[in-house]
Structure 1
Amino acid sequence: MSDTIITRADDLPEPKELAEAYELELQSQNGRSIRFGELVAGKGAQITTIDYVRVVSRRLTNFVLSTLPNPTGPSQLIIIGCGDSQRIVPYVSETAAAFPIYTDRTGKIYKKLLMKRTTSHITQPPSYAQVSFFGALGKTFGQMFRSGWQAFRGGSWSQNGGEWVFRGGKSFYVHRMEHVSDHLTADRLLEVLSLDEPAQTK
């Protein structure tokens, strides 16, 4: 067993908060609206949702995606980001993401599920990053230059996300990012998925 720290059960959203979040709308890459609850509620599959921030951290999210295994068995992995839905196609092109992607243009889901806003550690790439901060920054500005004004529709720089696991439509595990370099990687997600019930925080 690794030293993964599992979020305490009391850090899970209250049923009322989760029910309200289920009613909020996301957009697909073609701009079609879908309720968040349609993606997770009432399904027996384990669903891991990875929320990401834009620009510098978006590039770092590419390294997170590269560590994730393809879902197997009764499971699926969904990516939810912030910003305009028109940014999904360029994001897929830049990251070669193989998972369904949706966006929360208003940021209401992030707020409802108590995900943080901070730029802390923005100059400190995480262990899963393969380039330095300045290398990632240069690539990000290159992406922004090629995208023109569309680059400024990708969501807030400070919005952090995290990793969420749902079982049967209920929240099973939550990891809210403490800073922009705080995504979980595949080995930790796999450990979470192997649990019968969430462990207490160590």
Structure 2
Amino acid sequence: MRRRLPTFLTVVVNLLAGYAFARLRFRGRNVLFLLTLATMMIPVQAIMVAQFRLVSDLGIYGSYWGVILPGAAAAFGIFLARQFFIGIPDEIIEATKIDGSGQIRIFLQVVLPLSKPLIAVLILLTLMGSWNDFAWPLIALNDNQLFTLPIGLLYLQNQTAPNYNATMALAPISVLPMVALFLSFQRYFVQGFARSGIR
């Protein structure tokens, strides 16, 4: 549950935003997309104080929502989704429009089935990011019961008598799920990047 909810939320937001930037025509679309891309140039550390204040003002500090919501709209995921959706032939979209389908139906019945490699890439990148994230959960959580695995490893090392045996035992455990996930999604991962135009 701890990993599935942020992954699901981030993938849904990325897919919807990427589709909007790729296929919908609205005023200021390119400017908004460039602003979204510009956020990738801002170091995470530079916005942590502002994020912390926002999370505190919303009353979700110390909960998983405080960790999940700030990263729900990942700029790289939106960029990747947009590039993928631009690569879908216009003829397929136009044929569906001629049949009387609206944008929601086109997205759900045409675009999403063609986007399995993209969805696999977004799931994998989001899971890896949330699994390995250290700094933001350390700031946003204040309960030992809610801490993530990287923070738990830090606490094992920071005790008065560090437990190196437990730390070395937990280190492979923290890596193995992501390695297994990557190996199982590897084919989709390569296809997703290849079809989105990322080289």
Instruction: Answer whether TM exceeds 0.5 for this pair.
Output: no
Tell me which protein shows more strand as a share of its residues.
1
Tell me which protein shows more helix as a share of its residues.
2
**TM bucket by the smaller chain?**
under 0.3
Larger radius of gyration: 2
Structure 1 length-normalised TM: 0.23
Structure 2 length-normalised TM: 0.23
